[in-house]
Structure 1
């Protein structure tokens, strides 16, 4: 039986989820300033509901970013603390990918443009497509101004859009047919499909080696090689 815990505090939402061989338990709350008070109680509730100890888990997934600097650091710090104590591998999953996965779960979206409001007049953005039930990156994750994105991706179009970027910058809807507005922020449960693949392929890392992804050093929209 595979058991994976997932946590995320990278955006305004705070969430945790527990996978036990196909069954998912989850907690989710939008609380921009309450992440440090909420995340560990959420974890404790899920473990109690699943009748598990932390040491019973096979791995711990975390939203590695992009998102707010403080939020990503909280996620990583909590994940590292839990993993150190229970000797668990860490499984870092993109928050943009998690948004796309959530759009598939809630809106049956198969080709998705994820956009998170990055503040400072910018968005975190990435394009994804569904392969065997898991969202796979098709357009490299970037941070840039909405106007720059619209100009540089002028000839690209996606079936669906998701994320707070579409709420803040309505002009982004020019690049999608439909916005999955049920999901403005990533949820920890949507980290699980990719985390399971990472765990099954032995790609978990030691707590000390886990790294966040901020994207702030990348300023242009680029297609992946060969796409």
Structure 2
């Protein structure tokens, strides 16, 4: 939800962490990542951006740094993000199975449209597809990054984290916007058809004719 700036901010601690680990050591890399996250936090406060992304970003980096410290391995920095992607993928899939696709819920909640969209099957299917698209993105991230984690390719983990972040997110956003616009257009058309059918007089009954005296 942080937009383009959120994507950049979430990437910078990773960009700092990997080379710092190569130049110094794990402790130095952890300090560098935390310092970078703190600077980003201050910048967001100064720019008066939304407070929740700033706090969650700093908190996320702190968790990753803590796991890396506890495991004693640089690749541990990526472990939290790997499991988060799996959880996200599961949530998106579950929302489709229970017939409350998460993209539809989020989009209509933000725009205050209520739950009428669930009554139109084409609209519901469009939101299902958009939600499945995000589930696929998170699932792909988990599979690739967990494989790199198991093989201890820390450098490639950073590349995968960044490479599967911006491009896949941009593709998913584009697909979501196209599907949502189509869903809204189909829903409006269905509502118009239903309204017209209710307002049109019954052609078979013909006009009312008063009987003569």
- TM-score for both structures, normalised by structure 2: 0.27
Q: Which has the higher strand share?
A: 1
Scaled by the length of structure 1, the TM-score of the pair is: 0.26
Q: Which has the higher contact order (CA 8 A, sep 6+)?
A: 1
Q: Which has the higher helix share?
A: 2
Larger radius of gyration: 2
